[in-house]
Amino acid sequence: MTYSYNPNSETWWREGVFYQIYPRSFADSNGDGNGDLGGILAHLDHLNDGTPQSLGVDAIWLSPIYPSPFDDMGYDVSDYCDIHPMFGSLQDFDNLLRAAHQRNLRLLMDLVFNHTSYLHPWFQKSRSSRQNPKRDWYIWKDPSPRGKVPNNWQSVFGGSAWEWDEATQQYYYHMFLPQQPDLNWRNPAVREALYDVMRFWLERGVDGFRLDVVNAYFKDALFRDNPPRFGLRGYDRQKHLYDKDQPELLEVYAEMRQLLDSYPERMCVGEVMDGHPELNARYCGEGKLHLIFDFNFTRQPWHPAAFQNAVLRAEANLPPGGWPCYTLSNHDISRHLSRYGGRYPHERAKVAAAMLLTLRGTPFLYQGEEIGMRDGKIPYAMIQDPPGKRYYPFYKGRDPVRTPIPWDDSAGGGFTSGKPWLPLNSDYRQVNVAAQRDDPNSVFSFYRKLIWLRKDCPALRRGSFEPLIRRPSDGLAYLRRSEGQTILVALNFFALPATLRLDFDLPAQKWRTILGTHREADEEVALERTIQLSPHEVWLAEAI
Ligand code: TEU
């Protein structure tokens, strides 16, 4: 069956479902233990084969696949216009893009524009001498009058953000590792070079970009010290008044937006460091970035009121032209099923998926959540992630959320015929794609059903959001309404039967089930002011 949903509209990025691929851990096609572009190509059917047998996502975001020494796993780019040989070649990339487009799957590249790798030729030139024309492409400073670092700014990954360069007798600034020097966005030549990178990929046909730490491009022109605040790690012990969120950003966003708008149907999504809806509102909307990740869900406990408050806050802060953008997991944070804990991971996976995919806003999935993956356990000796090595055992780094996708229960999990770069999760013989594909009750089947249903329901894709309970304690109930369609979503967060008492009148008395964990499709239900739900029940119904 082919669905009528047409993703070729200007608003595809508001209505579509996005899926983050972490390429090194997705699928390996040549047996070297690292995922690659060939692996992604071979598994596009999983993402969208045009039928509800597949997940049905509309767009993929690829974490960085550029040449890189991998000091920060590719978020340290040494050439923005090529592909790391571990992942393949530009030819492989073009093949992948073509195959994705044939399936109506759009593709976003990850642009890491705050910093480069220290091996990028720009930095190699910049550090070669104070007179080099590229010197000013990075942020160089003399020592303080006392012969120390220029100011108190800290690196996110630990220690001072200033690194001494013996050869040229100056410090350079790095927000992350010393191997990731920050670019100087105040230099117009840098800006032009980076916009050229955008053009390079847009000309190749990519549909847009995910912009890494997009609010850190500029630092205070006077390099003032950050004031202190309570926190555990060095970086967290400062208020970041001067090393990010500078007013100059808005000019750059306007330029980027203009550049993107000069190509049809392109978009970008920004990752804002320490973002929150009030801050994000400054940066997205008309003439600014299309979307900004709302990371509030990743900080909420498993409670319906927590999520509803996060949604209301996001909605209340939307600027003109803004649109919510929710996510539960990504390559930097513990997977949501590990965060939520409890004895019912699969039940919670379904409730969380139903919420994410029926709210008003663009959902971003992280690879593996569609099969209910949890964090892996990585022994100290195998840790690859720099902050993991530095802060172990207080913080184990991000490797646990980057373990390979298990496609089946064979020796390499169908991920690789060799030795995977990070170990497969210990439960991969149960939690894998093949095991879930044919099981109608699996987490994967549930994601599929939700995503394909969404395509058929304008109310879910673009309708209004109207909560029905002011202070939810057991579960959420809300309406999604568009012209001609009203959908009711009811979710029981807990393992006990629940009676949800609604604070508002429903617009209809009779409802027809369109998707549910406990009810048959087309079952008709009469409702007044209460909804009875079984433990962990998800119920979606349409007003009749
Ligand atoms: O992340 C920025 C960011 O906010 C994280 O570094 C976060 O603080 C960290 O994961 C907590 O340990 C982006 C990328 O998503 C991340 O993978 C990169 O390491 C980072 O930028 C530097 O490019």
Q: Are residues 429 and 363 in the same domain?
A: yes
- Closest C-alpha to 176, from 467, 478, 398: 398
Which residues, 6 or more positions from 119, have their beta carbon under 8 angstroms from its beta carbon?
69, 78, 179
Atom of ligand 1 nearest to the CA of 274: 4
What confidence score (pLDDT) does residue 11 get?
A: 86
Strand pairing class (498-501; 18-21): unpaired
Q: Is residue 65 part of a domain?
A: yes
Tell me how far the alpha carbon of residue 507 lies from the centroid of ligand 1, in angstroms: 44
Query: Over 80: is that where the pLDDT of 6 sits?
Result: no
SS3 of residue 328 by DSSP: coil
Tell me how far the alpha carbon of residue 398 lies from the centroid of ligand 1, in angstroms: 10
Domain boundary among the residues 398, 426, 453 is at 453
pLDDT confidence tier of residue 34, bands split at 50, 70 and 90 = very high
Phi and psi at residue 163, in whole multiples of 5°?
Answer: -120, 130
What confidence score (pLDDT) does residue 232 get?
A: 87
419 in the Ramachandran plot: left (φ > 0), alpha (ψ -120 to 50) or beta? beta
Q: Structurally, how many domains does the chain consist of?
A: 3
User: 245-271: buried (b, 16+ CB within 10 Å) or exposed (e) per residue?
Assistant: bbeebeebbeebbeebeeeebbbbbbb
What confidence score (pLDDT) does residue 342 get?
A: 84
Q: Is residue 24 part of a domain?
A: yes
Q: Are residues 111 and 137 in the same domain?
A: no
pLDDT confidence tier of residue 178, bands split at 50, 70 and 90 = very high
Tell me how far the alpha carbon of residue 268 lies from the centroid of ligand 1, in angstroms: 18
Quote the CA–CA distance of 70 and 177 in Å, as a whole number. Answer: 11
Per-residue pLDDT averaged across 383-397, rounded? 92
Give pTM, 2 decimals: 0.97
Determine if ligand 1 sits within 6 Å of the CB of residue 465: no
Tell me how far the alpha carbon of residue 401 lies from the centroid of ligand 1, in angstroms: 13
Domain boundary among the residues 423, 453, 483 is at 453
- Percent pLDDT > 90 in the chain is 96
Determine if ligand 1 sits within 6 Å of the CB of residue 112: yes
What confidence score (pLDDT) does residue 233 get?
A: 82
Atom of ligand 1 nearest to the CA of 273: 4
The residue whose CA has the least distance to atom 23 of ligand 1 is 75
Residues 388, 395 contacting (CB under 8 angstroms) = yes
Position of tokens 């919420």? 355
Task: Identify residue 421 by its one-letter amino acid code.
Answer: W
C-beta neighbour count of 406 within 10 angstroms: 26
Query: Over 70: is that where the pLDDT of 245 sits?
Result: yes
Domain boundary among the residues 426, 453, 480 is at 453
Residues 194, 173 contacting (CB under 8 angstroms) = no
* 212 in active site: yes
CATH number at residue 532: 2.60.40.1180
Quote the CA–CA distance of 84 and 458 in Å, as a whole number. Answer: 40
Give residue-wise pLDDT tens across range 285-297: 999 999 999 999 9
Give residue-wise pLDDT tens across range 261-276: 999 999 999 999 999 9
Which residues, 6 or more positions from 292, have their beta carbon under 8 angstroms from its beta carbon?
214, 269, 270, 271, 272, 275, 280, 283, 284, 325
Query: Domain containing 28: what range?
Result: 12-116+188-453
Rg (CA), the chain: 24
Q: Is residue 182 part of a domain?
A: no
From 58, 212, 375, 385, the catalytic residue: 212
Which of 332, 383, 395, 399 is the pocket-test mutation for ligand 1 (most atoms within 8 Å of CB)?
332
What is the helix (H) or strand (E) element at residue 111, kind and residue range? Answer: strand 106-111
The residue whose CA has the least distance to atom 3 of ligand 1 is 273
Q: Are residues 312 and 397 in the same domain?
A: yes
Atom of ligand 1 nearest to the CA of 176: 22
SS3 of residue 14 by DSSP: helix
Per-residue pLDDT averaged across 234-254, rounded? 97
The residue whose CA has the least distance to atom 22 of ligand 1 is 75
Quote the CA–CA distance of 173 and 293 in Å, as a whole number. Answer: 26
Tell me how far the alpha carbon of residue 492 lies from the centroid of ligand 1, in angstroms: 33
CATH number at residue 141: 3.90.400.10
User: Counting Cβ atoms within 10 Å, is residue 466 exposed (0-12), middle (13-18) or buried (19+)?
Assistant: middle
What confidence score (pLDDT) does residue 9 get?
A: 58
Determine if ligand 1 sits within 6 Å of the CB of residue 274: no
Tell me how far the alpha carbon of residue 143 lies from the centroid of ligand 1, in angstroms: 28
Q: Are residues 141 and 39 in the same domain?
A: no
CATH number at residue 69: 3.20.20.80
How far the first Cα of the chain sits from its last, in Å, is 25
Q: Are residues 206 and 134 in the same domain?
A: no
Q: Are residues 129 and 88 in the same domain?
A: no
Per-residue pLDDT averaged across 528-537, rounded? 98
Quote the CA–CA distance of 544 and 532 in Å, as a whole number. Answer: 19
Query: Over 90: is that where the pLDDT of 7 sits?
Result: no
Residues 365, 57 contacting (CB under 8 angstroms) = yes
Query: Over 90: is that where the pLDDT of 72 sits?
Result: yes
Q: Is residue 486 part of a domain?
A: yes
Per-residue pLDDT averaged across 78-105, rounded? 98
The mean predicted confidence, pLDDT, of the chain is 96
Q: Is residue 7 part of a domain?
A: no
C-beta neighbour count of 221 within 10 angstroms: 10
Residues 77, 29 contacting (CB under 8 angstroms) = no
Give me the torsion for CA of 379, 384, 389, 392, rounded to 10°.
-30
User: 109-145: buried (b, 16+ CB within 10 Å) or exposed (e) per residue?
Assistant: bbbbbbbbbbbbebbeebbeeeeeebbebbbbeeeee
Q: Are residues 500 and 382 in the same domain?
A: no
Tell me how far the alpha carbon of residue 320 lies from the centroid of ligand 1, in angstroms: 28
Which of 110, 156, 217, 334 is the pocket-test mutation for ligand 1 (most atoms within 8 Å of CB)?
156
Determine if ligand 1 sits within 6 Å of the CB of residue 424: no
Determine if ligand 1 sits within 6 Å of the CB of residue 72: yes
Position of tokens 């549910």? 516
What confidence score (pLDDT) does residue 341 get?
A: 81
The residue whose CA has the least distance to atom 1 of ligand 1 is 213
CA 38 → CA 29, 94, 99, 136, 506, distances in Å? 5, 11, 11, 39, 50
The residue whose CA has the least distance to atom 9 of ligand 1 is 332
Q: Is residue 179 part of a domain?
A: no
Determine if ligand 1 sits within 6 Å of the CB of residue 387: yes
The residue whose CA has the least distance to atom 4 of ligand 1 is 273
Q: Is residue 4 part of a domain?
A: no
CA 197 → CA 99, 103, 125, 203, 458, distances in Å? 23, 26, 19, 10, 36
From 182, 271, 294, 385, the catalytic residue: 271
Q: Are residues 312 and 355 in the same domain?
A: yes
pLDDT confidence tier of residue 75, bands split at 50, 70 and 90 = very high
Q: Is residue 183 part of a domain?
A: no
Q: What angle do CA 85, 91, 96 make, to 5 degrees?
A: 95
Instruction: Spell out the SS3 assignment of 198-238.
Output: HHHHHHHCCCEEEECCCCCCCCCCCCCCCCECCCCCCHHHE
Q: Are residues 530 and 505 in the same domain?
A: yes
Query: Over 80: is that where the pLDDT of 490 sits?
Result: yes
Per-residue pLDDT averaged across 210-233, rounded? 97
Determine if ligand 1 sits within 6 Å of the CB of residue 399: no
Query: Over 70: is that where the pLDDT of 184 sits?
Result: yes
pLDDT confidence tier of residue 2, bands split at 50, 70 and 90 = very low
Atom of ligand 1 nearest to the CA of 333: 10
Position of tokens 């410090």? 171
What is the helix (H) or strand (E) element at residue 357, kind and residue range? Answer: helix 345-358
Q: Are residues 229 and 142 in the same domain?
A: no
Query: Over 50: is that where the pLDDT of 231 sits?
Result: yes
Respond yes or no on whether the N-terminal peptide bond of residue 133 is cis (omega within 30° of 0): no
Q: Are residues 196 and 110 in the same domain?
A: yes
Q: Which two tokens stand for residue 146?
A: 């006392």
Tell me how far the alpha carbon of residue 332 lies from the centroid of ligand 1, in angstroms: 6
Q: Are residues 517 and 537 in the same domain?
A: yes
